[in-house]
Amino acid sequence: MAGERASVPTLLTPFADVRARRSAMQRALRLLRRNRLGLLGTAILSTVVLAAILAPFLTSYDPMIGDITKRLTCPVLTWCPSFMPGATPVRGSLDHPLGTDQLGRDIFSRIVYGARVSLIVGLAAVLLGAGFGSTLGLVSGYYGGRVDALIMRIGDVFLAFPYLLLAIAIVAVLGGGLLNVIIVLAIATWVPYARIMRGSVLSAKEQEYVIAARAIGVRDLALLFKHVAPNCITPIIVFGTFNVAAAIIAEAGLSFLGLGVGATRPTWGNMLADGRAYVATAWWLATFPGLAIMLTVLSINMIGDWLRDALDPHLRNIE
């Protein structure tokens, strides 16, 4: 019994093995401890995620409703510019630590609530795009032939359009809204996942464990999802991580262009777009959401770097 278990799994599913996975995870964590950037990225992202989850407890202002008489209040520790002749400059206060926007809404509240939209869009778009794309890539690579040609040619057509342009075109047809933005970003990004997956599958399907599984009569579907897919998923995870950052930026871009989740919802892109008109007079409107986007995207990229190293079998011996 024991001998059988020791030999068969190594032949069939070396990486999918539970023990192997656990050790990969341990290795990743070990690597993380040594990777300061990865650690920093994780810390920043955890903060953003926590803030998004705990938004109602962190803020005392409604992100949607402001007080127009407190419009364009400057952040704490700064002096508000005077818009009228004879006006006395006023100092920002802790009431609104990051100031208020053009409608008197608290910018800190909007950034915290905006994190929800950004994270949801980033994660959901990637999960959807990666799921859809890698499934097609799996099918394409495994079956080859006409199916492969068809899927890949369709993919080529998608790739022929610039990413954001394609997203804009689809939003123009479907209309805005959170769900639509997610769908749009998924549609606009599925091709690279399909290609990566297909490439991995092409090499994996020639491996002995796949041939062996087929030889003992494992059916196509089970073979694909139980044996092939788990061994090809690593590059998808790494690529997907980077893409979360790209999706957050894309959502901000769409919102900036007025094609996002709705004009008054607190999203970082909306805040940037609204703040743009005030860059010369009220710098804080565009600065803070811009910083939020930058930090979040940066942290995700740092995590992506770390994951790439951690999950790369070729780097395994380097530690």
Binding residues for another protein, rule: CB under 8 A, are: 64-66, 68-73, 80, 82-90, 93, 95, 102-104, 258, 262-264, 274, 277-282
Question: Which C-beta is closer to another protein: that of 63 or that of 133?
Answer: 63
CB of 281 to another protein, least distance (A): 4
Question: Which C-beta is closer to another protein: that of 72 or that of 117?
Answer: 72
Question: Which C-beta is closer to another protein: that of 27 or that of 71?
Answer: 71
Question: Which C-beta is closer to another protein: that of 3 or that of 85?
Answer: 85
CB of 257 to another protein, least distance (A): 11
Question: Which C-beta is closer to another protein: that of 40 or that of 257?
Answer: 257
* Cα–Cα distance measured from residue 45 to residue 143, given in angstroms and rounded to the nearest whole number: 39
* Cα–Cα distance measured from residue 62 to residue 96, given in angstroms and rounded to the nearest whole number: 12
Gyration radius from the chain CA atoms: 24
Degrees, nearest 5: CA angle 91-92-95: 135
Residue 250 — φ and ψ, nearest 5°? -65, -40
Say which residues have a Cβ less than 8 Å from residue 86's Cβ, sequence separation at least 6. none
CB of 267 to another protein, least distance (A): 13
Q: Which two tokens stand for residue 21?
A: 């996975």
CB of 71 to another protein, least distance (A): 5
CB of 121 to another protein, least distance (A): 19
Say which residues have a Cβ less than 8 Å from residue 209's Cβ, sequence separation at least 6. 11, 12, 13, 14, 227
Question: Which C-beta is closer to another protein: that of 61 or that of 209?
Answer: 61
CB of 282 to another protein, least distance (A): 7
* Cα–Cα distance measured from residue 253 to residue 92, given in angstroms and rounded to the nearest whole number: 30
Query: 181, 260 in Cβ contact below 8 A?
Result: yes
CB of 280 to another protein, least distance (A): 7
Residue 79 — φ and ψ, nearest 5°? -105, 135
Would the CA dihedral through 174, 177, 180, 186 be positive or negative? positive
